Amino acid sequence: MKILITGSSGFIGSSLVDILAKGSYEIAGIDNHSDYYDVSLKMDRLDNNQQFDSFKHYELNICDFESLGKVFSDFKPKIVIHLAAQVGVRYSLENPRSYIDTNIVGFNNVIQLSKEHRIENFIYASSSSVYGGNTNVPFSTLQKVDHPISLYAATKKSNELIAHSYSHLYQLPTTGLRFFTVYGPWGRPDMAPFIFLKSIVEGNAININNNGNHKRSFTYIDDITEAIRRLISLPASSNKNWDSDSPISNSSSAPWEIYNIGSGQSVELMHFIKLIEEKTGIESKKNLLPMQPGDVLVTDADCTDLEKKIEFIPQVTIEEGLSKFVDWFRHYYKI
């Protein structure tokens, strides 16, 4: 089985390659190694993945339709897992053009080529950010997501809409995954878990927005990759009970599905920091700040529909996951 993974040197992408390459899959990875965060970390992830004979890497930008098309033609994948994106909520305030280029143009390039090459299962990354102004938690895929509060969230919502049009017009099975605050070994340096841990270890103050009055559904990387692995053999299908007079938000008469992937446990930010302090044995210095533009107060994932589909629920507790994350951090940075 040939699988094409975009964003294969990213956090989730590289972790997924590491899992799938140990199985009976032949994998092509695409990444342009953008400098949004530490490129050396991305290259180290790539080096780790290149130990597998079943993995082949292509360095290119998904906005380059011609080069991307050549990979499709040469590799001939059966499944596409599209994880490449310009990520980050706050950065979208500074550089909105990069989100339009990568998350809209790039996404359309990948899904258009998937349609042309008759891909059997198209899985792509959405985000919990699409819930935007919603305050009814836990977030359910049955809720409407019409009020994004960041451009990043808006581009992810647009991905879901574009995917639906391709599923409807061309019967391309598409599955969108709304990730909830993923953390763990090889994690992203721009995300709160990594920033907090790095600051604590280095003795720097942590900037804590909204005075710490946030809650997040922190989700360990292994639970994310296991869910995706199970979805590989379960492409989206049409909802046989679809009622166009009373449409619902997570399925369709087309082979299009949307799922949350989260831990099912929303953790207070200050408790999360306390757990890092306990694991490292270091008390943090805290710099309490007001609410930042684009932030949401609480994320909490209702994943019951995904659990029914793949017969799996997250297994890693926040205590266990943070312990593994801190151990990796110390080893990687030789602390």
pLDDT category at 89 given cuts 50, 70, 90 is: confident
pLDDT category at 266 given cuts 50, 70, 90 is: confident
User: Residue 295 pLDDT > 90, yes or no?
Assistant: no
Using CA atoms, how far apart are residues 328 and 12, in angstroms rounded to an integer? 16
| Mean pLDDT lowest among 13-22, 42-51, 184-193, 284-293 | 284-293
Residue 282: per-residue pLDDT: 94
pLDDT category at 209 given cuts 50, 70, 90 is: confident
Which residue in the block uniquely carries the two structure tokens 């299908």?
A: 237
Q: Which CATH class is domain 2-180+220-263+302-315?
A: alpha beta
Average pLDDT rounded to a whole number, residues 228-250: 95
Residue 37: per-residue pLDDT: 95
Instruction: Tell me which residue of 221, 249, 230, 247 sits closest to 306, measured CA to CA.
Output: 230
User: Residue 164 pLDDT > 90, yes or no?
Assistant: yes
Of the residues 91, 152, 166, 183, only one is catalytic, namely 152
Q: Determine if residue 106 is left, alpha or beta; phi over 0 gives left, psi from -120 to 50 gives alpha, anything else beta.
A: alpha
Average pLDDT rounded to a whole number, residues 111-128: 98
Residue 298: per-residue pLDDT: 82
User: Residue 213 pLDDT > 90, yes or no?
Assistant: no
pLDDT category at 161 given cuts 50, 70, 90 is: very high
In the residue annotation, 332 being an active-site residue is answered as no
Residue 31: per-residue pLDDT: 98
